[in-house]
Structure 1
Amino acid sequence: MRLPQIALPQLSLRVSVVLCTLIISSVIFYNEIIIDLPNPHSLRNFPDKLTTQIVDRHGKLLYKIYEDENRTLIKLNDLPPHIKNAFLTAEDKDFYHHKGFSPVGLVRAVYKNFTKDRLEGGSTITQQLIKNTLLTNEKTITRKIKELILAFQVENIFTKDEIFEMYLNQVGFGGTAYGIQEASMQYFNIDAKDLNIAQASFLAGLPQAPSKYSPYGENPELAYTRQKQVLHQMVKNGFLSVDELDLALTVKLEFSSAKTEINAPHFVMFVKDILTSQLGENIVNHGGLIVTTTLDLELQNLAQKAVTEEVSKLKNFNVSNGAALVTNPQTGEILAMVGSKDYFNLNEDGQVNLTTSLRQPGSSIKPINYALAFEKGLRPSSTIEDKPISFNLVGQGPWVPKNYDGRFHGTISLRQALGSSYNIPSIMLLSQNGIQNFANLAQSMGITTWNEPERYGLSMALGSLEVKMTDLATAYSTFANKGIATPLKSIISVKTRESKDLFLASCPMQMIADPESATALATDQSCSKKRAVSPLTAYLITDVLSDNSARTPAFGFNSVLNIKPAKVAVKTGTSNDLRDNWTIGYTDTFLVASWVGNNNNEPMSRVASGITGASPIWAKIFNQIIEKYPQPKEIAKPDNLISVPICTLTGTLTCDGCPTRNEYFVKGTEPKVSCNPQLVKTILELNSGNLWPKIKSHGDRKHHQKKYQNSSSVSNSFFLGFSFFLTFFLRRVPSNILILLFWNYFVYVLHNQSILLSHTETFTKHAGCLPAKASIKFSTTSLAIAILASIVADAI
């Protein structure tokens, strides 16, 4: 039998067509599918968008930074088995048995695609992972083919558990919640590892249609229906027993609020700005960093409450805002930062951080001026004249500064001048120290904003040049830290997803700019601690600011500045036009600064430093610190200091008739000469004569005399009747005289407390506490009324 003959030309043509078709198809397949197929190994770098977490020093969450995807990685081994079982049931029960795709599911999907004229699922967990990471969401045959090829490749590169872990960290759950950890936090406010079966089954049902099954959506009942479907299917798949099902169905799902939480918002944004400037927005927003900060959230909440409560009491003073800062002066760590009374009050610019805003410091800047004087050899015992002075300012005419109380106090020690915050001595010191020298020292102590010499002037002694609270805290920390200026620090560590620390511990405000190339932490000495003043000067300033008797003439003996039982160094400040009111003080372990005023710079109506305004905020925070934390240690005195009793009016050794107190001197530099009693007497008389104010804006002498006379008239009327009573029943005239004399004296002190010249320990011992003429007048009046009352009473 002969075989059919095929013409060679015809065979050759058919083969050519087939070959050409194959070649063309291969080229098309290569160009459309293979050439731009993603590298499956790149899954190791996914997800590429991770949430950065900012936490406090104890690991408590403050804020999460992300753009459109809030995601935190978690290990599969850290999750309970029922989470895996719930997701296998809801998404791909045969996941551990196929090689990346399900033939049955694929056939079913193809059939539905042809019958419904649209592309549908059938995707395995592996395919879903690829679709959400390596490919787009376009619904085309080309994309589906790529998905199948990549699924096969991925299954040959990674283990099943690795694929499942990547899926759980990548999948979306609605809104900005991506990954099982953030889904757990968003819906239940718990970590994923703590999810129970009921909660896990609910979350497992979400990825199929997050909006449809959302408990916050239009039909929240669908969320429960979907959860029950998953639970029943888990029983069918052998993942749950009937008893476990019944128990899970009885669990009530309690969903947390969907709002974004932020603690210590001003501090968080302060830290975020630092991170962004050092690392760039992309790393901060998508890098999944864990930023451990210096903040103590408990202390932060305490400080925020103090600011909010105390500012609310100042509405009648035209005060609308306040701020506070708590630091560790030894390390510079920021423990609390309250930038306003309410961050979320947009009507009052609550998001403005007043701890980093420029404000006039008022008298709170004075310790730096006195520190410069101490560096030049003066001591707290050195004396200065508090008397009328005038300065001719170019183009402005004469400037006649005044004290806050409107009085002149004569010859006083630098201790009393600083403690009672008298203005004139501070100005005189600055004129001696030199304005540029003062600015230089302030800069070395941490004031970063004094860089315009054309604005310098003697008014800087009174705080006319603006500063930041953060800078002022750094400057005061220098005194607490034995003269070492320590930059503020807000960050302890910045760790990447690979646990690499990007933070330069030796340089508080700097991070490694390139995380990829950072293998060793470099040391940058440019921002290390630096000595600004000597340990001696730092201690002397601290000793003066913690001396309650030194500030008693201005603030009273039991002011809120007197924190018991701790020895706290503290200074207040009020700007000249009542736009800013400050209090700042410290121990060896804590520094607290507070401020009140108005964001729009509108003047306050009235604020009394040390009584109202910033002081109650400061005192409330510090008192609670003393209660909650270990008692601070008294700042150590330099070994070469000795205590010597001196005359407070001359700064020399004591003599008869002179108020005395102990002062510190470097051994060998203490005074060798005693004071002159006649000179002391003259100074006392001059000081007494200076007590009546001579500044019109604070009232003239007649005004104060009238104020006193009105007060004494009331007191005399009261005790006139009281004298009749005592004399009639007791027949003891001398007691009436003594009582009436005491009453007049008491009333006088109440209304003229700020004119006491000597310290409390010398108050009852020495003259000079009352104006001479006034004392005589009151004594005579009291005596006459008492005698008259007694005579009349006896006659009755």
Structure 2
Amino acid sequence: MADPDWGPVEPLPGKRAGKNGSTTPTKAKEPKTKGRLWAGRIAKVVAAAALLGLVAVTAIVFIGYNTVQRPNPNADFETATTFVYYNDGKSQLGSFAIQNRQPLTFEEMPDSIKQAIVAAENRTFWDDPGISIRGMVRSAWVIARGGDLQGGSTITQQYIKILYLNSQQTLTRKFKELFLAYKINKELSKEQILEGYLNTIYFGRGAYGIQAASKAYFNVDAKKLTVPQAAVLAAVVNNPSMFDPGVSDDNVPRLTERYHYVLTSMAQMGYITFEQAAQYAPLPKFPEVPTNERYGGPKGFLLKMVERELSQAGFDAGQISGGGLSITTTFDKKAQAAAVKSAQTYTKRSADAAGQKASKLHAAIASVQVGTGEVLALYGGPDYVKNSRNWATTARPTASTFKTYALAAGLKDGFSLRSIFNGNTFTPKGDSTSVRNEFSYQYGPVSLLKATADSINTAFVDLTTQMDDGPAKVMKAAQAAGAPKGAGWDDNSRVALGTAEVSPLDQANAYATFANDGTYVPAHVVKEVKDASGKVIYSADPQEKRAVSEDVARDVTYALEDVVEQGTGSTVRTLDLPIAGKTGTKDVADDIVSAWFVAYTKQISTAVMYVAGDGGNADLDDFRRPGDSTFFGGTYPALTWAAYMKVATDGLPVKKFAEPAWVNKDSAPNQPTYAPTTAQPTQTETAKPSQTPTAPPTTTAPTQSATTESPTKEPTKKPTGGASSGGNPNGNGNGNGNGKGNGGNGNGQQGADEAGGG
């Protein structure tokens, strides 16, 4: 009962008054703090701002919708050609296609592609107002936070952007796209919009529209597209450079994942059953499709490299092929012409002399500017259209050219050019087979300098085994210089002998590292890109890094100079330039599978590789010069190199290499590793072996590991050219270097290669 003097009884804290003054639990009132007061005020301000923002947005949409006019179609986009130039920015190398488009009516388009593209790109297409508000808000939020504007587009918006606008990533363009899409959705039927979209969108391979795409990918008319084929095209259209399997094998997994997404979406929308989606899971077959003749001839390889590099730099396929760009490459017109002429001249000469088909012999040339990484010239084959394999970017066994990395690793590890190694047949510690030199020449103890000049296999195996974890150090040196690890990079004592596979382009660039005093610069083929208005939108900016010390690089160069002056590379001395390089000839069983000459001046590094057969693994000996025992790197590869470099270096100032640093010259001389063997030394370091192969004094021929670089064939004609005490193999019997031995021109070179395994 209430007390009349006190009024109604107040409920206790935590209680709420009920009937008859009873109480029920309740939350106690908390006094308002300053923080809560400010929070309330801020909430009111935000609510007011949101209301004002909504009003503003409504006004913008109303004004935008009523004022925006449909512009004329992008005639420039439909016909704009991207031009590609040599490094002078004026001489045209080629172009990327004027749009390949063959319009179809909506009725002519199969249901398979209509359904696949809607399932892949815009499931709400048939019901939406032509725009995606959620996507627009997401894009606006991203750019407001400093990110790149992206995504959020319906099929209608994509169609508007391509046909009427551009690809600029700005809010202004995005809102104009929004207004136009909404308006056109009111003016055109969904069928008309989808027809226009499928006739306009870029599918890659120079194909704009579904008819051109069907031909480009499957060589069929669009009306015959199967569901799997349509699903592939619907997947590819999202980003042709990332999903087209013809661009790179790396695209296949990405395409497969996207393709499965399209099939699943089609099933979820009821276009196909889930059983059919599972049945269609494997990618359909991609037939051989005739390539656009724009890529015909040797230049096709260059254009494809440009496309790939720009794609990796973030350009989409539509920009590259139809954006009206001006692309300045790194290729030098004069050098490129010389590369084509040199490769084709010596390929034909070799094939004709041997009575073989020139189409079965493949010469590859890659030439890089020292210090910039700019690819000056590249010969990947005679005709990209007929055979798209680029031999200049195809990795093959490097043979003795890999010894250069062992040399660098040894110098870094504490050895010097004067360190002594085993020049005789021997069995490395822990191995079960012996290693020998070509025709089992026995050199005795040799310096690392001489081992490099004469390409002595045993000495480099000795060097590798004397280093702790030597094989790994050799491979690490190669990778640091710019040779990417690949097939044949075997972790064993014979790694320096060249089972490791590297492409000519990577070899040229890795050798350029030593010419550049030990600093690696990535190779690239695009120098600059301008848009249709002439604005520079891309400039190459390769990031250099230190691979080896300057002193090690100088000593490597000095040793490789000796290869040219006194060793297996003396064929190229006719250029009368400071040249450092290395020969290489690789055998597998009884076949010579690759022959190399990689060398550089102070300004240009160039690699030449010869391989044979469709896969580049056939026997090169079928193409050897008459009178030669085998197809050596010091023959046609060196001659090809010299013919190219004579033109490429014409007009350049003659620059000498720095003097050697003689790293580790004060360290105590090491001793060569010897293991019991029946073969006894027959030579000393100062006495160059006779050019006539002599079997070692043993009743049992030494065995050899399958990874040994030197060929095992006996010569069909023994070389009789003489040799000087300095090791010049190009002698006439008294070492005067005129290159004419009794066995014919070049036999002295041949003998040196045989002796050293070069």
Q: TM-score with structure 1 length normalisation? A: 0.49
1:406, distance to aligned residue in structure 2 (A): 3.0
Residue in structure 2 matched with residue 751 of structure 1 by the alignment: 720
1:493, distance to aligned residue in structure 2 (A): 0.5
1:39 aligns with 2:69: yes
* Residue type at the aligned position of 1:361: T
Task: List aligned pairs for 1:92-491, cutoff 5 A.
Answer: 260=294, 264-277=299-312, 278-315=314-351, 316=354, 320-344=361-385, 346=386, 350-391=387-428, 398-433=432-467, 434-450=470-486, 455-491=490-526
Q: Indicate conservation of the 8 Å contact 2:594/2:610, yes or no.
A: yes
* Residue type at the aligned position of 2:433: W
1:457, distance to aligned residue in structure 2 (A): 2.1
1:451, distance to aligned residue in structure 2 (A): 8.1
CA deviations 1:129-157 (Å, max 9, x no partner) are xxx9779xxxxxxxxxxxxxx9xxxxxxx
**Equivalent position to 1:569, from 573, 580, 588:** 580
Residue in structure 1 matched with residue 705 of structure 2 by the alignment: none
* Residue type at the aligned position of 1:352: R
1:332, distance to aligned residue in structure 2 (A): 0.8
Paired residue secondary structure (1:384): strand
Residue in structure 1 matched with residue 655 of structure 2 by the alignment: 633
CA deviations 1:541-584 (Å, max 9, x no partner) are 111111257644x56xxx42214321111111111231101101
Paired residue secondary structure (2:397): coil
Instruction: Please give the alpha-carbon distance, in whole angstroms, between the structure 2 residues aligned to 1:576 and 1:335.
Output: 30
Q: Indicate conservation of the 8 Å contact 2:443/2:685, yes or no.
A: no
1:42, distance to aligned residue in structure 2 (A): 5.8
Q: Indicate conservation of the 8 Å contact 1:324/1:339, yes or no.
A: yes
Paired residue secondary structure (2:635): coil
Paired residue secondary structure (2:327): strand
Paired residue secondary structure (2:535): coil
Residue in structure 2 matched with residue 537 of structure 1 by the alignment: 552
Q: Indicate conservation of the 8 Å contact 1:549/1:759, yes or no.
A: no
1:602 aligns with 2:618: yes
1:581 aligns with 2:595: yes
Instruction: Please give the alpha-carbon distance, in whole angstroms, between the structure 2 residues aligned to 1:260 and 1:283.
Output: 18
1:616 aligns with 2:657: no
Greater fraction helix: 1
Q: Indicate conservation of the 8 Å contact 2:515/2:602, yes or no.
A: yes
Task: List aligned pairs for 1:6-21, cutoff 5 A.
Answer: none
Assess, with a 3 A threshold, how the Cα gap between structure 1 residues 486 and 697 changes in structure 2: closer, same or farther.
farther
* Unaligned runs of at least 5 residues, structure 2: 1-64, 102-161, 166-179, 181-205, 209-291, 625-629, 670-680, 703-713, 735-758
Instruction: Please give the alpha-carbon distance, in whole angstroms, between the structure 1 residues aligned to 2:695 and 2:454.
Output: 17
* Residue type at the aligned position of 1:458: S
1:683, distance to aligned residue in structure 2 (A): 9.8
Paired residue secondary structure (1:575): strand
Q: Indicate conservation of the 8 Å contact 1:586/1:592, yes or no.
A: yes
Give the paired residue count.
442
Paired residue secondary structure (2:367): strand
1:333, distance to aligned residue in structure 2 (A): 0.5
Q: Indicate conservation of the 8 Å contact 1:589/1:632, yes or no.
A: no
Instruction: Please give the alpha-carbon distance, in whole angstroms, between the structure 2 residues aligned to 1:482 and 1:310.
Output: 32
1:495 aligns with 2:495: no
Instruction: Please give the alpha-carbon distance, in whole angstroms, between the structure 2 residues aligned to 1:506 and 1:303.
Output: 26
Residue in structure 2 matched with residue 785 of structure 1 by the alignment: none
Select the structure of larger CA radius of gyration. Answer: 1
Across the aligned residues of Structure 1 and Structure 2, the Cα RMSD in angstroms comes to 4.4
Paired residue secondary structure (1:458): coil
Assess, with a 3 A threshold, how the Cα gap between structure 1 residues 317 and 597 changes in structure 2: closer, same or farther.
farther
Q: Indicate conservation of the 8 Å contact 2:394/2:503, yes or no.
A: yes
Residue in structure 1 matched with residue 80 of structure 2 by the alignment: 50
Residue in structure 1 matched with residue 695 of structure 2 by the alignment: 693
Assess, with a 3 A threshold, how the Cα gap between structure 1 residues 65 and 449 changes in structure 2: closer, same or farther.
same
Instruction: Please give the alpha-carbon distance, in whole angstroms, between the structure 1 residues aligned to 2:502 and 2:648.
Output: 26
Instruction: Please give the alpha-carbon distance, in whole angstroms, between the structure 2 residues aligned to 1:260 and 1:589.
Output: 32
* Residue type at the aligned position of 2:77: P
CA deviations 1:55-92 (Å, max 9, x no partner) are 1112211121125359xxxxxxxxxxxxxxxxxxxxxx
Stretches of 4+ aligned residues off by more than 3 angstroms: 35-38, 40-49, 132-135, 258-263, 341-344, 450-453, 548-552, 668-672, 682-692, 695-700, 756-761
Instruction: Please give the alpha-carbon distance, in whole angstroms, between the structure 2 residues aligned to 1:564 and 1:491.
Output: 30
Instruction: Please give the alpha-carbon distance, in whole angstroms, between the structure 1 residues aligned to 2:483 and 2:526.
Output: 21
* Residue type at the aligned position of 1:403: N
Paired residue secondary structure (1:313): helix
* Residue type at the aligned position of 2:503: K
Instruction: Please give the alpha-carbon distance, in whole angstroms, between the structure 1 residues aligned to 2:684 and 2:365.
Output: 44
* Residue type at the aligned position of 1:68: Q
Paired residue secondary structure (1:632): coil
Q: Indicate conservation of the 8 Å contact 1:592/1:621, yes or no.
A: no
1:386, distance to aligned residue in structure 2 (A): 0.7
Instruction: Please give the alpha-carbon distance, in whole angstroms, between the structure 2 residues aligned to 1:442 and 1:38.
Output: 60
* Unaligned runs of at least 5 residues, structure 1: 1-34, 71-131, 136-149, 151-175, 179-257, 508-527, 642-663, 673-681, 701-706, 712-747, 767-796
**Equivalent position to 2:91, from 55, 60, 63:** 60
CA deviations 1:713-737 (Å, max 9, x no partner) are xxxxxxxxxxxxxxxxxxxxxxxxx
Q: Indicate conservation of the 8 Å contact 1:383/1:413, yes or no.
A: yes
1:361, distance to aligned residue in structure 2 (A): 0.4
Paired residue secondary structure (1:591): strand
* Residue type at the aligned position of 2:556: I
CA deviations 1:18-55 (Å, max 9, x no partner) are xxxxxxxxxxxxxxxxx999934466785355221111
1:299, distance to aligned residue in structure 2 (A): 1.1
Task: List aligned pairs for 1:611-760, cutoff 5 A.
Answer: 611-626=634-649, 628-637=650-659, 641=661, 664=662, 669=666, 692-694=694-696, 751=720, 753=722, 758-759=726-727
- Percent of aligned pairs sharing the same letter: 22
Instruction: Please give the alpha-carbon distance, in whole angstroms, between the structure 1 residues aligned to 2:417 and 2:310.
Output: 44
Q: Indicate conservation of the 8 Å contact 2:367/2:505, yes or no.
A: no
Instruction: Please give the alpha-carbon distance, in whole angstroms, between the structure 1 residues aligned to 2:449 and 2:611.
Output: 29
Instruction: Please give the alpha-carbon distance, in whole angstroms, between the structure 2 residues aligned to 1:470 and 1:69.
Output: 33
CA deviations 1:436-485 (Å, max 9, x no partner) are 122222111112234887x4222321110211112111210111000001
1:665, distance to aligned residue in structure 2 (A): 5.9
Instruction: Please give the alpha-carbon distance, in whole angstroms, between the structure 1 residues aligned to 2:516 and 2:696.
Output: 41
Q: Indicate conservation of the 8 Å contact 1:360/1:465, yes or no.
A: yes
Assess, with a 3 A threshold, how the Cα gap between structure 1 residues 617 and 405 changes in structure 2: closer, same or farther.
farther
Assess, with a 3 A threshold, how the Cα gap between structure 1 residues 565 and 50 changes in structure 2: closer, same or farther.
same
Instruction: Please give the alpha-carbon distance, in whole angstroms, between the structure 1 residues aligned to 2:163 and 2:308.
Output: 30
1:758, distance to aligned residue in structure 2 (A): 4.3
Q: Indicate conservation of the 8 Å contact 1:295/1:334, yes or no.
A: yes
Instruction: Please give the alpha-carbon distance, in whole angstroms, between the structure 1 residues aligned to 2:697 and 2:533.
Output: 69
1:401, distance to aligned residue in structure 2 (A): 2.2
Instruction: Please give the alpha-carbon distance, in whole angstroms, between the structure 1 residues aligned to 2:464 and 2:355.
Output: 32
CA deviations 1:619-649 (Å, max 9, x no partner) are 11122234x22233012337xx4xxxxxxxx
